Amino acid sequence: MKQQRMSMPVYSEFGGSYVARGFELAFQKGVRRYVWIPLLINVVLFSVAIYYTFHYATMWVADLKAWLPSYLQWLEVLLWPLVVIGVVLVFALTFTSVANIIASPFNSLLAEKVEYKLTGIAPVDGGISGMVRDIPRIIGRELQKIIYFLPRIIGFGLLLLFVPIIGQLLWFLFGGWMMTIQYADYPFDNHKVPFRTMRAELWQRSGKSLSFGCIVAVLASIPVVNLVMIPVAVCGATAMWVDHIRFATNDTMK
Residues 6+ apart with CB under 8 A from 99: 41, 42, 45, 46, 230
Q: In the prediction, which pLDDT does 4 show?
A: 46
Task: Specify the pLDDT at position 166.
Answer: 86
Residue 6: what pLDDT?
47
Instruction: Give the per-residue pLDDT at 71.
Output: 62
The mean pLDDT value for 106-126 works out to 88
Average pLDDT on 170-196 reads: 93
Question: For residue 2, what pLDDT is reported?
Answer: 44
Q: In 3D, which of 241, 137, 112 has the Cα closest to residue 181?
A: 241
Give residue 183's pLDDT. 95
Q: Is 6 exposed, middle or buried (0-12, 13-18, 19+ CB in 10 A)?
A: exposed
Half-sphere exposure of 119 (CA within 13 A, CB side): 23
For residue 71, the 8-state DSSP code is G
Question: What average pLDDT does range 156-176 have in this prediction?
Answer: 83
Arithmetic mean of pLDDT over the chain: 82
pLDDT of residue 86: 59
| 107 vs 225: which has the higher pLDDT | 107
Segments in the chain forming alpha helices (H) = 17-26, 36-67, 76-119, 127-162, 166-190, 195-204, 206-220, 225-244, 246-253
Name 123's Cβ contacts closer than 8 Å, sequence gap at least 6: 1, 112, 115, 116, 130, 190
Quote the pLDDT of residue 203.
95
Asked whether residue 110 carries a pLDDT value surpassing 90, the answer given is yes
Backbone phi, then psi, for 165, in 5-degree steps? Answer: 65, -60
Burial class of residue 39 in the structure, from the number of CB atoms within 10 Å of its CB (0-12 exposed, 13-18 middle, 19+ buried): buried
- Which one has a higher pLDDT value, 166 or 97? 166
Taking residues 71-95, what's their average pLDDT? 61
Angle in degrees, CA 224, 236, 152, rounded to 5: 80
Q: How far apart are CA 12 and CA 182, in angstroms?
A: 21
Residue 39 amino acid letter: L
Q: Average pLDDT, stretch 168-191?
A: 92
pLDDT value of residue 236:
96
38 vs 235 pLDDT, higher one: 235
